[in-house]
Structure 1
Amino acid sequence: MIYTTIINEFNTLKNPPNKIYYKGNLELLKMPKISIVGSRKMSVYTKNLTFKLAQKLSQIGICVVSGGAIGVDIESAKASLPYHIGIFANGLNKIYPKSNEYIIKQIYENALALSENEPNHIPLKHDFLARNRLVVALGDILIITQADLKSGSLNSAKHALEYGKDIYVLAQRIGESDGTNELIANYKAKIIYDIDVFIAQMQEYFSVQKCYTQNYDEFLEFCKNGANLDEALERYGELVYDYELDGKIIIDGVLVRSV
């Protein structure tokens, strides 16, 4: 479907999209929004904090925006559904990357997916950089949880600075996220030292008070009464181990069950 009225946040871009294709819930556009981006090869530390951050933002009524890529993008999507907007470089009739298919389908069905490209478009390298400007433009604030030097996430930071948007980064060890550490060193980003303190700041900033509940989770329902591990892996793949790491399920021998 085509969203023919260009979203206001995109009108100020030097190269705004001519049209936006969408699948899902357009009501999410009315919520306060924060964009979360970062490395495709994130550390376990970054993965855990990205999940916690996105989940807590969604629970206070802030919609998380990402680019649907592997790594930080998809972790923020898993944590924030159904209050999530994914902006894709591919056309929405295509699922890309395939490794994220389960979560991307949930975005299509329960959240909101946007793309400026025709429905069957197969993305090229420049499409991902073009997508970055939309991810940044749609969020009121940009969070980069991990980034290398000369990465797509630093391209997103460049857009944020151009648009006058605040940038936040996670506190990281030297050598593990040189891109975000460089942003800090050059006074271009603020540091999130404590997620709960940051959430309280965002709650005040956006004047949001309501605590939202998450939507039905098919995988957790599947595991509720105990399920065979091999069957769970066949149906849901790496999501099984992601949920175990996040403390949502327990793997006990050949069985997996919801916590």
Structure 2
Amino acid sequence: MENKSVPKDFLHLFKNLNTSPKKLYYKGNLELLNRRKIAIIGSRKMSVYTRNCVLELASLCKRAEICVVSGGALGVDITANKAAMPLSIGIFANGLGRIYPKSNERIIKELYTNALALSEQEWDYTPKRYDFLLRNRLIIALSEAVVIAQADFQSGSMQSARLALKMQKPLYVLPQRLGESEGTNWLLKENKAKLITDFKEFVLNFGEIKEQNQDEFLEFCAKGVSLEQALKHFGEKVYEYELEGKIAINGVFIRVLV
């Protein structure tokens, strides 16, 4: 199967890169490239706390009609991509004909169908280690601001943070405990990033948050229910809403995010 190329008119979005892409391939909705865009990236081994923060932040971005850009990787990236669906852009180091990582296949295929996936690589290309760093530069260049949700000091996310600073992109981090996200804590200490203490306040800097219509399922979950109770009353809708980033399943309990 052949790749579909992104029209050259969109490549100007990457003009501030020293090595801008000569060609980009895509699957999905190119209209998302016309929207305001915020990157949410971070550790593959995120904490439960970080996961919940990312779900809430990305969901609020979606309500403000802001597109979330991330890398489709394990942890923070795929969580952000999932919660922002369909206002979600995944940028991949591999060719779009080769889903990686396979554990994220369900969400990546939804990006292909209902959101947007981008790659510099040919259809069946298998990524090398350095390709992920090259991919990160596209995420940063495309985004108006960058949120590093959680990061070790020596990590790809910190390399992305350095690139964001070099490109003069506003850089933000989440509050984290000592010893749990040494990279983002260092960025705060050195005054290289701003701290997000109120998700709604942060999102309002980029767009207006739209009110949600009343929803019987969300009202049911807001009362504080178990996964078992929700499945009993609403069946597969539970997992549909999780995929859409409207709820988070924390163990045996459900948390409403919107």
Normalised to the residue count of structure 2, the TM-score between the two structures is 0.82
Contact (CA 8 Å) 1:60, 1:212: kept in 2 or not?
no
Sequence identity (%):
50
2:123 pairs with 98, 119, 122, which one?
119
3-state SS in 1 of match to 2:203: helix
Q: Which runs of 5+ in 1 are unaligned?
A: 214-222, 250-259
Q: Deviations over 1:44-89 (max 9, x none)?
A: 0000000000010111110000011000000001100000000000
Contact (CA 8 Å) 1:58, 1:212: kept in 2 or not?
no
Q: Which runs of 5+ in 2 are unaligned?
A: 214-230
Aligned to 2:249: 244
Aligned to 1:161: 165
Q: Deviations over 1:186-224 (max 9, x none)?
A: 111000012122222333xxxx465689xxxxxxxxx67
Distance 1:53 1:167, change over 3 A: same
Contact (CA 8 Å) 2:63, 2:209: kept in 1 or not?
no
2:96 pairs with 67, 80, 92, which one?
92
Contact (CA 8 Å) 2:174, 2:195: kept in 1 or not?
yes
Cα RMSD between the aligned structures? 2.4
Q: How many pairs does the alignment contain?
A: 227
Contact (CA 8 Å) 2:55, 2:248: kept in 1 or not?
no
Contact (CA 8 Å) 1:28, 1:83: kept in 2 or not?
yes
The alignment status of 1:226 with 2:229, answered yes or no, reads: no
The alignment status of 1:179 with 2:183, answered yes or no, reads: yes
Greater than 4 Å deviation, 4+ residue runs: 208-213
Distance 1:212 1:154, change over 3 A: farther
Normalised to the residue count of structure 1, the TM-score between the two structures is 0.82
CA distance in 2, matches of 1:31, 1:136: 15
The alignment status of 1:200 with 2:204, answered yes or no, reads: yes
The alignment status of 1:109 with 2:116, answered yes or no, reads: no
CA distance in 1, matches of 2:49, 2:255: 17
- The residue identity in structure 2 corresponding to 1:226 is G
